[in-house]
């Protein structure tokens, strides 16, 4: 287990989120994380400033396995996909200092497949999520595909298939499209979707990636740095792409890092790489970090929120961490 520096707070879920009829809301317990790494007090980690976080849990066994998270424009309400093929919706709570303090209005609802029915994990292993006006776009492993759901209405709707661009035979069984992100309007990729594979590489060892639509539609590659694997990504307002990566070994334990890819370099045929904004290891308050999103802070600054996938193991934790990007 990782070191845990917390203050307990219990939040019972009340309120109104767009949940399916007769779906009960999930009571969540949240513990505050106020120190990211032990040692001399500091909040600066590379190009990011740690603002706080929570470890959250529930008696409901459905909670866990968070693969990707996307926040609504308010920066409070969110949608997440679980690798069990479930939607998780809710909102964050903040304390008087504006720090993460808990979750509210949490609901977990099965995703529907193309036939309009819930399906087994092997068919609905959701890994990536992107939000575009009127659409939620989801990527799946094992049975590799990308699908789009209507928004609103995604909780009770079946999806439509989207062209993955990356040939299916190039995607590894447990390392397919892990990242979906929608680029900001007013950038060269304006409003189009990019996809990045977790561990699917070409003959030169580079990760498969693609622009899925628009005039720049096509395959590009992301430089892979062993032992790191891409787990999620999100665009900054200026059009640069943040990629969340993780590593694991029995000797080195779990690690997390964030890489910044210059948006103008993303185009068909390109090989992209970028600056490492931060890196953290076993001593920090991390786990199996799987999801990342970018929101606007109260003064217009850029905040980065990262969530973990606990693999439904009692040895791991559901974490939500918040950082501020320092330029």
Give CA–CA dist 129/136, Å, rounded. 7
What is the pTM assigned to this prediction?
0.91
**What pLDDT is recorded for position 25?**
92
What does the alpha-carbon distance between residue 38 and residue 55 come to, in Å, rounded to a whole number?
A: 17
d(CA 198, CA 161): 21
Which distant-in-sequence residues (6+ apart) come within 8 Å of 266 by Cβ? 188, 189, 194, 211, 216, 220, 241, 272
Task: Give how far the C-alpha of residue 40 lies from the chain's centroid of Cα atoms, to the nearest Å.
Answer: 30
Question: SS3 for 264?
Answer: helix
Tokens of 63: 């909670």
- By the 10 Å C-beta count (0-12 exposed, 13-18 middle, 19+ buried), 219 is classed as middle
Residue 80 tokens read as: 């997440």
pLDDT of residue 311: 87
> Residue 23's pLDDT is what?
65
pLDDT attached to residue 317: 96
In the DSSP assignment, the letter for residue 183 is: P
The residues with which 120 forms a beta bridge, in sequence order, are none
Cβ(30)–Cβ(94) below 8 Å: no
Nearest to 37, CA basis, from 260, 248, 300, 283: 283
Could you state, in chain order, the average pLDDT of each consecutive group of 10 residues for the chain (327 residues)?
Answer: 34 37 80 94 96 96 96 97 96 96 97 90 92 97 96 95 96 94 95 97 97 97 96 97 93 92 98 98 95 95 97 92 94
CB atoms within 10 A of CB 124: 24
Whole-angstrom CA distances from 273 to 37, 90, 210, 264 are 27, 34, 14, 12
Query: Can you read off the two tokens belonging to residue 126?
Result: 């959701």
Largest CA distance in the chain: 55
Task: Please give the angle made by the CA atoms of 97, 89 and 10, to the nearest 5 degrees.
Answer: 45
If one counts every other C-beta atom within 10 angstroms of the C-beta of residue 167, the result is 12
């Amino acid at each position: 287990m990782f070191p845990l520096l917390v203050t307990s707070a219990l939040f019972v879920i009340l309120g109104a989120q767009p949940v399916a009829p007769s779906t009960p809301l999930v009571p969540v317990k949240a513990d505050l994380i106020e120190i990211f790494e032990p040692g001399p007090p500091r909040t600066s980690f590379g190009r990011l400033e740690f603002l706080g976080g929570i470890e959250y849990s529930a008696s409901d066994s459905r909670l866990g396995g968070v693969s990707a998270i996307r926040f609504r424009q308010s920066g409070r309400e969110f949608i997440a996909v679980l690798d069990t093929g479930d939607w998780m919706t809710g909102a964050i709570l903040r304390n008087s200092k504006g720090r993460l303090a808990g979750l509210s209005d949490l609901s977990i609802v099965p995703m529907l497949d193309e036939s309009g029915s819930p399906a087994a994990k092997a068919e609905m292993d959701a890994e990536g999520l992107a939000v575009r006006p009127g659409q939620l776009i989801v990527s799946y492993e094992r049975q590799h595909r990308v699908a789009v759901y209507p928004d609103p209405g995604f909780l009770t709707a079946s999806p439509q298939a989207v062209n993955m661009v990356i040939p299916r035979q190039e995607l590894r069984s447990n390392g397919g499209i892990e990242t979906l992100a929608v680029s900001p309007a007013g950038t060269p990729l304006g409003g189009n979707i990019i996809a990045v594979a977790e561990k699917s590489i070409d003959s030169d060892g580079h990760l498969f990636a693609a622009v899925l639509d628009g005039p720049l539609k096509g395959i590009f590659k992301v430089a892979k740095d062993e032992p790191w694997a891409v787990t999620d990504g999100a665009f900054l307002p200026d059009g640069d792409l943040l990629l969340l990566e993780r590593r694991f070994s029995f000797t080195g334990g779990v690690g997390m890092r964030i890489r910044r890819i210059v948006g103008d370099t993303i185009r068909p045929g390109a090989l992209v790489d970028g600056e490492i904004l931060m890196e953290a290891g076993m001593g920090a308050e991390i786990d199996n970090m799987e999801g990342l999103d970018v929101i606007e802070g109260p003064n217009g600054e850029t905040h980065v929120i990262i969530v973990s996938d606990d693999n439904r193991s009692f040895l791991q934790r559901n974490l939500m961490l918040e950082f501020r990007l320092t330029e």
